[in-house]
Amino acid sequence: MLYIDSISKGIVIDHIRAGGGFSIFKYLELDKADFTVALIMNAPSKKFGKKDLIKIENRIDLDLAMLGFIDPNITVNIIEDEKIVEKINLSLPRKVEGIIKCKNPRCVTSLERNIVHKFVLMDEEKGAYKCEYCDQIYSWEG
Protein backbone atom coordinates (compact mmCIF):
# COMPACT_ATOMS: atom_id res chain seq x y z
CA MET A 1 0.00 0.00 0.00
CA LEU A 2 1.32 3.38 -1.01
CA TYR A 3 0.51 6.58 0.73
CA ILE A 4 -0.11 9.96 -0.80
CA ASP A 5 2.14 11.58 1.77
CA SER A 6 5.13 9.98 0.11
CA ILE A 7 5.23 13.02 -2.14
CA SER A 8 5.89 16.45 -0.69
CA LYS A 9 4.70 18.72 -3.46
CA GLY A 10 2.85 17.78 -6.57
CA ILE A 11 -0.26 16.14 -7.89
CA VAL A 12 -1.95 12.83 -7.31
CA ILE A 13 -4.47 11.77 -9.90
CA ASP A 14 -6.65 9.34 -8.02
CA HIS A 15 -9.60 7.05 -8.75
CA ILE A 16 -8.61 6.38 -12.32
CA ARG A 17 -10.58 3.48 -13.72
CA ALA A 18 -8.42 0.35 -13.36
CA GLY A 19 -6.62 -0.18 -16.64
CA GLY A 20 -6.99 3.45 -17.65
CA GLY A 21 -3.92 4.80 -15.89
CA PHE A 22 -1.45 3.97 -18.61
CA SER A 23 -3.21 5.92 -21.34
CA ILE A 24 -3.51 8.97 -19.07
CA PHE A 25 0.16 8.61 -18.16
CA LYS A 26 0.99 8.65 -21.86
CA TYR A 27 -1.46 11.44 -22.62
CA LEU A 28 0.24 13.65 -19.99
CA GLU A 29 3.59 12.66 -21.52
CA LEU A 30 4.82 11.55 -18.11
CA ASP A 31 6.93 8.92 -19.80
CA LYS A 32 9.12 11.85 -20.86
CA ALA A 33 9.11 13.62 -17.48
CA ASP A 34 12.38 14.59 -15.83
CA PHE A 35 10.80 14.68 -12.37
CA THR A 36 9.55 11.83 -10.20
CA VAL A 37 6.37 10.20 -11.45
CA ALA A 38 4.65 6.97 -10.53
CA LEU A 39 1.91 5.02 -12.18
CA ILE A 40 0.21 2.66 -9.78
CA MET A 41 -2.07 0.10 -11.27
CA ASN A 42 -4.77 -2.01 -9.65
CA ALA A 43 -4.54 -0.37 -6.25
CA PRO A 44 -7.34 -1.39 -3.90
CA SER A 45 -10.23 1.06 -3.87
CA LYS A 46 -13.21 1.19 -1.56
CA LYS A 47 -15.35 2.78 -4.24
CA PHE A 48 -14.45 0.78 -7.33
CA GLY A 49 -12.69 -2.37 -6.10
CA LYS A 50 -9.58 -1.51 -8.04
CA LYS A 51 -8.18 1.72 -9.34
CA ASP A 52 -5.14 3.20 -10.97
CA LEU A 53 -3.42 6.31 -9.74
CA ILE A 54 -0.67 8.60 -10.88
CA LYS A 55 1.66 10.53 -8.63
CA ILE A 56 3.54 13.47 -9.99
CA GLU A 57 6.24 15.08 -7.90
CA ASN A 58 5.78 18.42 -9.63
CA ARG A 59 3.05 20.98 -10.31
CA ILE A 60 2.19 20.58 -13.95
CA ASP A 61 -0.65 22.13 -15.87
CA LEU A 62 -3.51 19.71 -16.25
CA ASP A 63 -6.32 20.08 -18.71
CA LEU A 64 -9.08 19.16 -16.28
CA ALA A 65 -11.77 19.23 -18.95
CA MET A 66 -9.80 16.75 -21.02
CA LEU A 67 -9.09 14.53 -18.01
CA GLY A 68 -12.74 14.64 -17.03
CA PHE A 69 -13.61 13.66 -20.55
CA ILE A 70 -11.24 10.68 -20.45
CA ASP A 71 -12.46 9.56 -17.02
CA PRO A 72 -15.09 11.58 -15.12
CA ASN A 73 -14.51 9.60 -11.90
CA ILE A 74 -11.02 10.96 -11.42
CA THR A 75 -10.07 12.97 -8.34
CA VAL A 76 -7.13 15.32 -8.64
CA ASN A 77 -5.32 16.00 -5.36
CA ILE A 78 -2.95 18.92 -5.11
CA ILE A 79 -0.22 18.21 -2.58
CA GLU A 80 1.83 20.75 -0.68
CA ASP A 81 4.05 19.91 2.28
CA GLU A 82 2.88 16.30 2.09
CA LYS A 83 -0.74 17.33 2.61
CA ILE A 84 -3.70 17.51 0.28
CA VAL A 85 -4.44 21.22 -0.09
CA GLU A 86 -6.98 20.88 -2.86
CA LYS A 87 -9.22 18.06 -4.03
CA ILE A 88 -10.85 18.40 -7.41
CA ASN A 89 -13.57 15.98 -8.42
CA LEU A 90 -13.76 15.79 -12.17
CA SER A 91 -16.84 15.35 -14.25
CA LEU A 92 -17.67 15.25 -17.91
CA PRO A 93 -17.11 18.69 -19.38
CA ARG A 94 -20.18 20.49 -20.80
CA LYS A 95 -18.29 21.25 -23.96
CA VAL A 96 -15.34 19.66 -25.68
CA GLU A 97 -13.43 21.37 -28.41
CA GLY A 98 -10.87 19.83 -30.69
CA ILE A 99 -10.76 16.51 -28.83
CA ILE A 100 -13.18 14.26 -30.66
CA LYS A 101 -14.07 14.39 -34.29
CA CYS A 102 -17.46 14.35 -35.90
CA LYS A 103 -17.98 11.21 -37.95
CA ASN A 104 -20.70 12.58 -40.14
CA PRO A 105 -19.16 12.87 -43.62
CA ARG A 106 -21.59 15.67 -44.51
CA CYS A 107 -20.81 17.74 -41.42
CA VAL A 108 -19.18 21.08 -42.08
CA THR A 109 -16.23 19.98 -39.91
CA SER A 110 -15.65 17.05 -42.28
CA LEU A 111 -15.98 19.21 -45.40
CA GLU A 112 -13.84 22.08 -44.26
CA ARG A 113 -10.47 21.64 -42.67
CA ASN A 114 -10.09 24.65 -40.46
CA ILE A 115 -13.18 24.31 -38.33
CA VAL A 116 -12.72 23.23 -34.72
CA HIS A 117 -14.76 20.17 -33.83
CA LYS A 118 -17.14 21.17 -31.04
CA PHE A 119 -19.35 18.88 -29.02
CA VAL A 120 -21.89 19.59 -26.32
CA LEU A 121 -22.71 17.19 -23.49
CA MET A 122 -26.12 15.64 -24.03
CA ASP A 123 -26.42 12.72 -21.65
CA GLU A 124 -24.11 12.67 -18.65
CA GLU A 125 -24.90 9.09 -17.66
CA LYS A 126 -24.10 7.68 -21.07
CA GLY A 127 -21.31 10.13 -21.75
CA ALA A 128 -23.06 11.14 -24.94
CA TYR A 129 -22.10 14.29 -26.80
CA LYS A 130 -23.58 15.89 -29.86
CA CYS A 131 -21.83 17.81 -32.59
CA GLU A 132 -22.59 21.48 -32.36
CA TYR A 133 -22.84 21.78 -36.13
CA CYS A 134 -24.83 18.77 -37.25
CA ASP A 135 -26.17 17.08 -34.06
CA GLN A 136 -24.30 13.85 -34.79
CA ILE A 137 -24.04 11.86 -31.53
CA TYR A 138 -20.73 10.79 -30.08
CA SER A 139 -20.66 8.40 -27.16
CA TRP A 140 -18.09 6.29 -25.36
CA GLU A 141 -20.34 3.32 -25.84
CA GLY A 142 -20.01 3.76 -29.59
In the complex, the residues that contact Zn ion under the rule CB under 5 A are 102, 104, 107, 131, 133-134, 136
Instruction: Please say which residue, 77 or 136, places its beta carbon nearer to Zn ion.
Output: 136
- Check: CB of residue 120 under 8 Å from CB of residue 107: no
Instruction: Please say which residue, 77 or 109, places its beta carbon nearer to Zn ion.
Output: 109
Instruction: Please say which residue, 5 or 135, places its beta carbon nearer to Zn ion.
Output: 135
- Check: CB of residue 75 under 8 Å from CB of residue 5: no
Cβ 131 to Zn ion shortest distance, Å? 3
Instruction: Please say which residue, 85 or 111, places its beta carbon nearer to Zn ion.
Output: 111
Residue 85, classed as helix, strand or coil, is: strand
Each residue of 36-64: b (16+ CB within 10 Å) or e?
ebebebebebeeeeebbbbbbbeeeebee
Cβ 128 to Zn ion shortest distance, Å? 14
Cβ 115 to Zn ion shortest distance, Å? 9
Cβ 70 to Zn ion shortest distance, Å? 21
Would the CA dihedral through 63, 64, 69, 71 be positive or negative?
A: positive
